[in-house]
Amino acid sequence: MSEVVRKRVVVSGHVQGVFFRDSTRREAARRGVSGWVCNRRHGAVEAVFEGPVAEVEAMVEFCSSGPRGADVDRVAASDEEPEGLAGFEVR
């Protein structure tokens, strides 16, 4: 069984109002990654990803470009201890 990791990302730029959260949810479901994504107060998007190392890294990479219409300036990622999340939700 592959190692499960968890990353928290904060994505800055023009990332709200461009279906970033729903696109992230669909990509996570496709990759079998658990977690959540939400808009932050000052225009950023925050997400937590849990799953196999390669799939979580792919989600962080996805966030570096986002969906069409997004203009990502910065992705800040940090490692956290996995919590055993199941499923992926938009908050």
Give the three-state DSSP class for 62: helix
Walk me through the domains of the chain, giving residue ranges and CATH numbers.
18-82 (3.30.70.100)
pLDDT at 10 > cutoff 60: yes
Assess whether 8 carries a catalytic annotation. no
Q: Which helix (H) or strand (E) holds 10?
A: strand 4-14
Dist. CA 11–CA 1, nearest whole Å = 30
pLDDT at 2: 75
For 65, other C-beta atoms within 10 Å of its C-beta total: 11
DSSP-derived secondary structure for 64-80 = HH-STT-EEEEEEEEEE
pLDDT at 6 > cutoff 90: yes
Active-site residue, from 21, 26, 31, 91: 21
pLDDT at 3 > cutoff 70: yes
pTM assigned to the model? 0.94
Active-site residue, from 6, 30, 39, 68: 39
Dist. CA 52–CA 33, nearest whole Å = 8
Assess whether 21 carries a catalytic annotation. yes
Dist. CA 12–CA 54, nearest whole Å = 23
